Amino acid sequence: MTTSDDHKMTKQSLQIQELAIAIAAKNLNPAAINPDVIKYTNIIPAEWELAAEPVYRNNLVQVIYKNGIGIIIEPNRINVVEIIGGKPPAEAQIAKIASQLVDKLSQIDYQAIGINPKGFSIFPSETAAYQYMCGKLLAPGSWQEFRGSKVNPSLRLNYPFEKGGLNIDINLVNVQLGEAINSAILFSGNLNYPLVSESTNDRIKQLQTVINNWQNSVGLFQKFILDKFLEVEETTKSASVFQ
């Protein structure tokens, strides 16, 4: 009797934890968009409770709510962030808030928009996660150690495509689920779409189209990560009666 190794490919899961919609703009004045403006222009529902005191400075406005949604405004960017966790897509409110911000701030010179999902894949151990990074995504070699210490791997990948681009950062992380701390790989995506029209109204329409189709962008990111990065080879022993 002999034994042989059987190989099959299985997929790791990818859990989307956070989503951000980032809108780049020229000559944005955060001081003109204070927390009261955000509230009283009905950009957010009046009943939403703050998770902490708003940060309000000349170069930054940051408002975080107890439901996991945050609005961060800088001199060249508006960010709307939502903690997704296990929330069904239909319950996500990030697109509605981003869309209302664009409607209320329609005079701003918008330049581009990014749909930025973050998701992690849990591995059975720290060793397995490290081996995935340094044995599967990176070529093994002596460069992975320096003075007896292992490299802390981190990757940044860029994929240009028509009408935009996809950037992916890949990092080793620890994730707490309940009381357990798990080793994981974090995939941070940025699907960016420049606004190419010279017309302000057309750029607003492009913005709203990307915002309304955010689930398509996230789905594109998820499928790419699952298909290209998270197929793991499993080896099983099988017995044979043939010599």
Cα separation, 47 vs 67, in Å, equals 11
Per-residue pLDDT at 107 exceeds 90 = no
- 3-class SS string, 55-115: EEECCEEEEEECCCEEEEEECCEEEEEEECCCCCHHHCCHHHHHHHHHHHCCCCEEEEEEE
Q: Give the tokens for residue 63.
A: 């408002």
Q: Which H or E run contains 234?
A: strand 231-240
Which residues, in sequence order, are bridge partners of residue 61? 56, 73
- pLDDT tens sequence across 11-66: 688 999 999 999 999 988 887 777 788 888 889 988 999 999 999 887 899 999 99
Burial class (CB in 10 A: 0-12, 13-18, 19+), 77: middle
Please tell me the pTM assigned to this model.
0.87
Per-residue pLDDT at 235 exceeds 50 = no
What would you report as the CA-atom Rg of the chain, rounded to the nearest whole angstrom?
22
pLDDT value of position 196: 86
